[in-house]
């Protein structure tokens, strides 16, 4: 059984649960976001936006808890990775964190600018920190969409790197092993 905390060759069970749960939710959010982008305004769209906001605020909460856990967790030993790989992956991980914090915050500002409430998990109303501004709303929506495109690009690099290490490099540096539920500590 994997340790809760990180060890030499593993990020630890808690970090893995955060990682894979977020991966699933983000993939869902990206696909449904693309769908929203292509939908005409309709009662069905309003329903989808409701679900989108619940999942979006849940993603934000998970990222916050994940970062708090990261602060208390130790780190696996990545020193066997060539220097370039180490810098590149640290940069990509930081960008991923920045984007998954930024997009829900921007989505919240956008929603409030549109004159709507944002409720955490659809239950707790978040105080309004952006004035209603209908004129600016379309620009907010466009920026929300562009931020997601940035996430897709960075996520695409991260995913390709993960698969490269797993299948082409035969996990020589234990990159996959560190995040896999079946990996060895």
- Dihedral of CA atoms 183, 22, 14, 122 in degrees, nearest 10, equals -160
Rounded to the nearest whole angstrom, what is the least distance from the CB of residue 185 to ligand HEM in the complex?
13
Residues in region 156-175 near ligand HEM by CB under 6 A: 158-159, 162, 175
Q: Could you give the CA distance from residue 95 to residue 152 in angstroms, rounded to a whole number?
A: 11
CB 14 within 8 A of CB 73: yes
CA 65 to chain centroid, in Å, comes to 12
Stretch that binds ligand HEM, among 1-9, 27-35, 127-135 (CB under 6 A): 27-35
Q: Give me the least distance between CB of 174 and ligand HEM, in Å please.
A: 8
**Interface with ligand HEM by CB under 6 A: which range of 1-9, 48-56, 128-136?**
48-56
Kindly state whether residue 113 participates in binding ligand HEM, applying the rule CB under 6 A.
no
Element (H, E) at 48: helix 43-72
- How would you class 24 by CB atoms within 10 Å of its CB: exposed for 0-12, middle for 13-18, buried for 19 or more? exposed
Q: Cα dihedral sign for 121, 55, 105, 133?
A: negative
The CA R_g of the chain, rounded to the nearest whole Å, is 19
Any contact of residue 109 with ligand HEM (CB under 6 A)? no
22 binds ligand HEM (CB under 6 A): yes
Q: Which is nearer to ligand HEM, 37 or 172 (CB)?
A: 37
Residues that bind ligand HEM (CB under 6 A): 11, 15, 19, 22-23, 26, 29-30, 33-34, 36-37, 49, 52-53, 56-57, 59-60, 70, 78, 89, 93, 96-97, 100, 103-104, 107-108, 111, 118, 141, 144-145, 148, 151, 155, 158-159, 162, 175-176, 178-179
């Amino acid at each position: 059984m994997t340790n809760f905390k990180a060890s030499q060759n593993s990020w630890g069970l808690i970090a893995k649960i955060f990682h894979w749960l977020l991966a699933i939710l983000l993939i869902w959010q990206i696909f449904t976001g693309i769908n929203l982008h292509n939908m005409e305004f309709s009662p069905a769209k309003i329903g989808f936006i409701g679900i989108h906001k619940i999942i979006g605020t849940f993603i934000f909460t998970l990222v916050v808890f994940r970062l708090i856990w990261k602060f208390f967790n130790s780190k696996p030993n990545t020193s066997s990775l060539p220097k370039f790989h180490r810098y590149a992956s640290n940069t990509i991980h930081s960008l991923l964190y920045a984007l998954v914090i930024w997009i829900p915050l921007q989505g919240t500002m956008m929603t409030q600018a549109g004159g709507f409430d944002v409720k955490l998990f659809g239950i707790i109303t978040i105080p309004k920190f952006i004035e209603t501004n209908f004129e600016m709303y379309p620009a907010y929506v466009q920026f929300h969409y562009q931020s997601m495109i940035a996430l897709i690009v960075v996520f695409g690099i991260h995913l390709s790197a993960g698969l490269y290490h797993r299948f082409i490099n035969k996990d020589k540096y234990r990159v996959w092993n560190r995040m896999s539920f079946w990996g060895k500590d």
